[in-house]
Amino acid sequence: MESPEPLVQVRHLKKHFPITRGIVIQRTLGAVHAVDDISFDIQRGETLGLVGESGCGKTTAGRTILGLYKSTAGNVNIDGHDICTANGHEWMTIRRKASIIFQDPYASLNPRWSVSAIVSEPIRVHDLLKTAEERDKRAQELLELVGLNARHLNRFPHEFSGGQRQRIGIARALACNPKFIVCDEPISALDVSIQAQVVNLLEDLQERFELTYLFIAHDLSMVRHICDRVAVMYLGVIVEMAPRDDLYEKPLHPYTQALLSSVPVPDPKKERKRRHIILTGDVPSPINPPDGCRFHTRCPIATSRCSEIVPEWREMNPRHWIACHEV
Amino acid sequence: MDTVLQVNDLVVHFLTPEGTVYAVNGISFSLDHSETLAVVGESGCGKSVTMLSILGLVPIPPGQIVKGNAMYQEMDLLHSTEAQLELIRGKEISMIFQDPMTSLNPVLTIKKQITESLQRHMGLDMEKATQQAIALLNQVGLSDAQQRLNDYPHQFSGGMRQRVMIAMALACMPRILIADEPTTALDVTIQAQIVELVIALRERLGMAMIWITHDLGVVAGLADRVIVMYAGCIVEEAPVTQVYENPRHPYTMALLAALPRADRRRNQRLKSIPGAPPTLHAELRGCPFAPRCDFAIDHCWFENPSLQTIPSEHKIACWVDVQTGKAR
Amino acid sequence: MTSTAETVDSLPRSIVDELDTPPLSISQLTWRRFKRHKMALAGTIMLVFLVLYAIAGSFFYTEAYANYTETGTRLQAPSIEHPFGTDTIGRDILSRTIYGGQISLLIGLTAVLVETIVGVFLGAIAGYYGGKLDSLIMRFTEAMLNIPQIFLLIVMAKFFSGKLPNITFLGRTFSGSVVVIVFIIGLTSWMYLARIVRADFLSIKENEYILAARATGTPGYQIIFGHILPNAIAPIIVTATLSVANAILSEAYISFLGMGVQPPTATWGNMLEGAYKYIETAPWLWVFPGLLILLTVLSINFIGDGLRDALDPRSRAV
């Protein structure tokens, strides 16, 4: 049922941001352990959801996987290309095969560039079409693909609404016919009624172009809707990963359980009867993550073992992975 | 029926260099004592402007209260002087805002910010005010309140800052708490903490609450009654279960149909609402939702429906009966 | 406004195609804001007048006339024949201010050109690449800032004096020292601009659209000049404008000290040098060139102020 070779393979990926002091001679004081050993595969045509709260490292993970940040350790393989060692020609090939959609529709488009320039930049940079007419035609095509009128090619980002700008960002991501797109919270900044439009568009495009998505989000309801499999991140590590309905119906990790129980459900009778698992305390700092299991400081079922030994990442049920001692 | 706030026919415009923005287009609602009213709508629907106008927090100019009144205890808040409003704000009607990063003054300690309100409105001296402040911080779940009093806002996390805001807002035990998207910027687990806190405080203090949000999940758990706003108008108003189980306005229905669910298996595509909300640069002609409405009839384009009551406490502003598809 | 929801090929078509009438473009907005600045407008008019004076004036007087000496008529107060009087060797001051103005303004503009090219280039590289390159460039910049410009100017001027050929440019022949002055002023003033550009680049670089460009595979130089520079142009324009005034003043200083442009080529600055001994007895020697320098510098400063406000992205007034 699954393709033999996953499109994306991530193995023990780490990304630390050093904290330095001094101008002439730099001393390293420590590091922000944004991503601290994550591993997963993404099959062709699949949508993998990466969820977690702020500071868990999901955005950093998405960018490091694409090579936008240089990884501190581990490796990433996209369609046979090793991201961490690629340069020159191979680097450009990867840039065509994998693209990204950003969260902020206001910051992700250059305010001084016309829509046409923004959307056709990838084509120019990779020299895929030689003449200006061909490039313009392709730009028109791309706009129409995402549901915008091609008449607006010469307008500037500030003339569009948030939802429309996000569509422009999607058009840009499609310019070189990628296989893999990292969607970094693509709908978080949009109104509810526009979110549904954009999500439907992403699904349609996926079907039409056989795209593979890494869908990074914190809106767990939307993730359940669009993703095939979901991985839950906490403080730089993945604590649980499972097919969608397995994760939502039978969450095993205490953090996942707390997270899911906190998601409000738009059903008054249900919502008022629910028991929310309230976590105490705050998320620890990623500069000094707790020893052992990172979640142990807030975990309702933590034992002394949890504060000493890092739990093993194992497959509890078919395709259902978890890192916890007590389950 | 113990109405503590009554807003009638409020119309608010903004005069900008690019033209007039018709932000609030004639809304009326009431708030009962110890009731929680949720005001739901997407960005630009006028929900925040409405509440800010009531408290006199909209800068005038460019804002302009064209019409309407807001009666609180026989006082019309929209036509009161700044001095009169200052006696109300923080003491009788408190407001908390969305962004905990910018709502607190970064150069003053928490102690200063809480006690200032206590000293002014309740006339407490510094010592008593400090004790009260500690008690308040404990109430909102900040356990080491004594030590943290002398900290600055940047030393708190987002969730804790919001708790501090709540403590400040409730310091003088107001009759009404207005919360403008207080949990939108917070993580979902922190949001759950804050909502639980607010529910507990609400029971203890018996105050009325207006909760502004676009999150229909939070509303389901918190509200007694819901007002749905679109383009500066109220389109639907009903007790909370009715709004979710029996929505009668096409916009409310569409909004609910566009929501993904974390508690159910996915069964079909999300029903998106085509188009986008109007930008409010033109005066309303006809129903503002008509361009995006599945049920629109000719009359909808000519006249903006007013809010009418239909059986069992349900009010909607629509020319069409969605159950039959025909005019009302 | 009708809208329809069609699905073509199961991809939703855009609804409500009509965008609001586009707001004014960025340049139109900027011009509007500039116009509100009364002093800036006054400065613009004044500057236009001064430039016209320097250019058009050459239709009334020839250069030969400006350099024509006649000791018999030396040090004459303003009269009908010589509206600005004559200088120490009988040359007509009015025509000398015209031709002197051409040189002074030319020096001002070209020095700023040199300064802008060097400053923007170094600031951009330092701001974009960061790290060791940034440190290196910034240390160099700071070192240059510590060297007094006048000192360098004097040393350079002394070094090159007498060794330079004359240059013909736009129909005028002047001393090669003009080119030297231009480069010296330019190469000793770029530091301020470099710092500003670097700061701007550092902040713009953090925007998501830059990350998007990197994700696209856009090479560094295209990001610098295509993406960041258009967004950093405002402070560059303002600084460059104000630098013209500084350059004109710098030229005046060194010429006044006798180290600048060598006679007979006139500049407003070296006309002041000749007036040194006659400050009280023949005020017309320094009043007219001095006034012209003053008006030029003032009007440029007003324009610069107006531009700064007009280009400020945070100013929301129209």
Answer whether residue C97 shows pLDDT above 90: no
What b/e string do you get for B90-119 counting C-beta neighbours within 10 Å, with b at 16 or more?
bbbbbbbbbbbeebbeeeebbbebbbbbbe
Chain A nearest CA to B297, separation (Å): 22
Chain C nearest CA to A46, separation (Å): 20
Q: Which residue, C169, C187, C159, C168, is CA-closest to C247?
A: C187
The pLDDT, as a whole number, for residue A19 is 86
Please give the backbone phi and psi of residue B302, each rounded to the nearest 5 degrees, phi first.
-105, -35
For residue C50, the 8-state DSSP code is H
The pLDDT, as a whole number, for residue A14 is 95
Q: Spell out which residues of chain C touch residue A181, defining contact as CB-CB under 8 Å.
A: none
What b/e string do you get for B227-259 counting C-beta neighbours within 10 Å, with b at 16 or more?
bbbbbbbbbbbbebebbbeebbbbbbbbbbebb
Are the C-beta atoms of C158 and C259 separated by less than 8 Å?
yes
The pLDDT, as a whole number, for residue C6 is 31
Assigned token pair, B159: 């969730």
Which residue is it, tokens 């009418």? B308
Q: Considering chain A, what percentage of its residues have pLDDT values greater than 90?
A: 72
Is B214 an 8 Å CB contact of chain A?
yes
The pLDDT, as a whole number, for residue C3 is 30
B305-314, C43-52, C169-178: which is most confident = C43-52
ipTM of the complex: 0.89
pLDDT tens track for C195-246: 999 999 999 999 999 999 999 999 999 999 999 999 998 889 889 998 999 8
A251-255, C248-252, C303-307: which is most confident = A251-255
The residue ranking higher by pLDDT, B56 or C78, is B56
Window from B87-91, B285-289, C152-156 with minimum mean pLDDT: C152-156
- Gap between the Cα atoms of A82 and A78, Å rounded: 7
pLDDT tens track for B213-255: 999 999 999 999 999 999 999 999 999 999 999 999 999 999 9
pLDDT tens track for A46-96: 999 999 998 899 999 999 999 999 999 999 999 999 998 888 899 999 999
Nearest CB among B244, B260, B274 relative to A224 is that of B260
pLDDT band, residue C75 (cuts 50/70/90): confident
Which residue is it, tokens 């998505």? A213
Strand, coil or helix: B304: coil
Answer whether residue C157 shows pLDDT above 90: no
Torsion sign, CA atoms A133, A137, A142, A143: positive
Assigned token pair, A95: 């840039």
Whole-angstrom CA distances from A64 to A41, A47, A187, C97 are 15, 18, 21, 64
Q: Quick one: CA torsion of C72, C74, C76, C78, rounded to 10 degrees? A: 110
Q: What is the mean pLDDT of residues A91-118?
A: 93
DSSP A173-192: HHTT--SEEEEESTTTTS-H
Strand, coil or helix: C110: helix
Testing the interface with B: which of C7, C20, C28 to mutate, by most B Cβ within 10 A? C20
Q: Are A102 and C212 an interchain contact pair (Cβ–Cβ within 8 Å)?
A: yes
pLDDT band, residue C5 (cuts 50/70/90): very low
Q: Are B217 and A263 an interchain contact pair (Cβ–Cβ within 8 Å)?
A: yes
pLDDT band, residue C4 (cuts 50/70/90): very low
Is B114 an 8 Å CB contact of chain A?
no
Are the C-beta atoms of B310 and B316 separated by less than 8 Å?
yes
Q: What is the mean pLDDT of residues C89-118?
A: 88
Answer whether residue A1 shows pLDDT above 60: no
- Chain C residues 19-38 within an 8 A CB cutoff of chain B: 20, 23
Is B18 an 8 Å CB contact of chain C?
yes
Q: Are B291 and C1 an interchain contact pair (Cβ–Cβ within 8 Å)?
A: yes
- Gap between the Cα atoms of B9 and B25, Å rounded: 8
Assigned token pair, B226: 């819901």
Q: What is the mean pLDDT of residues B255-266?
A: 90
Q: Given a contact as 3+ CB pairs under 8 Å, which chains touch B? A: A, C
pLDDT band, residue A276 (cuts 50/70/90): confident
pLDDT band, residue C11 (cuts 50/70/90): very low
Q: Which residue, A89, A225, A278, C123, is CA-closest to B272?
A: A225
Strand, coil or helix: A70: coil
Window from A218-222, A243-247, B14-18, B240-244 with minimum mean pLDDT: B14-18
Assigned token pair, A135: 């490039």
The pLDDT, as a whole number, for residue A278 is 82
Window from A175-184, A251-260, A284-293, C157-166 with minimum mean pLDDT: C157-166
Answer whether residue C73 shows pLDDT above 50: yes
Cis before residue C264, ω within 30 degrees of 0? yes
Q: Count B/C contacts: CB-CB distance under 8 Å.
A: 25
Chain B nearest CA to C314, separation (Å): 16
Indicate the pairing of strand C7-8 with strand C11-12. Answer: antiparallel
Is this prediction's pTM over 0.90?
no
Q: Spell out which residues of chain A touch residue C135, defining contact as CB-CB under 8 Å.
A: 23-24
- Provide the phi-psi class of B229: left if phi over 0, else alpha when psi is between -120 and 50, else beta: beta
Q: Considering chain B, what percentage of its residues have pLDDT values greater than 90?
A: 37
The one-letter amino acid code at C234 reads: A
Chain A residue closest to C10 (CA)?
Answer: A204
Whole-angstrom CA distances from A146 to A171, B66, B280, C17 are 6, 41, 26, 13
Is B224 an 8 Å CB contact of chain A?
no
The residue ranking higher by pLDDT, C130 or C276, is C130
Answer whether residue C12 shows pLDDT above 60: no
pLDDT tens track for B30-41: 999 989 999 999
Q: Are C211 and A109 an interchain contact pair (Cβ–Cβ within 8 Å)?
A: no
Q: What is the mean pLDDT of residues C82-89?
A: 82
Whole-angstrom CA distances from C40 to C25, C29, C31, C37, C299 are 21, 16, 11, 5, 8
Answer whether residue C94 shows pLDDT above 90: no
Q: Which residue, B72, B68, B48, B78, is CA-closest to B208?
A: B72
Answer whether residue C149 shows pLDDT above 80: no
Torsion sign, CA atoms B151, B152, B157, B158: positive
Question: Please, what is the average pLDDT of chain B?
Answer: 89
Answer whether residue B281 shows pLDDT above 90: no
Q: Are A204 and C227 an interchain contact pair (Cβ–Cβ within 8 Å)?
A: no
Q: Considering chain A, what percentage of its residues have pLDDT values greater than 70?
A: 98
The residue ranking higher by pLDDT, C86 or A109, is A109
- How many CB atoms sit inside 10 A of residue A315's CB? 11
Q: Are C14 and A147 an interchain contact pair (Cβ–Cβ within 8 Å)?
A: yes
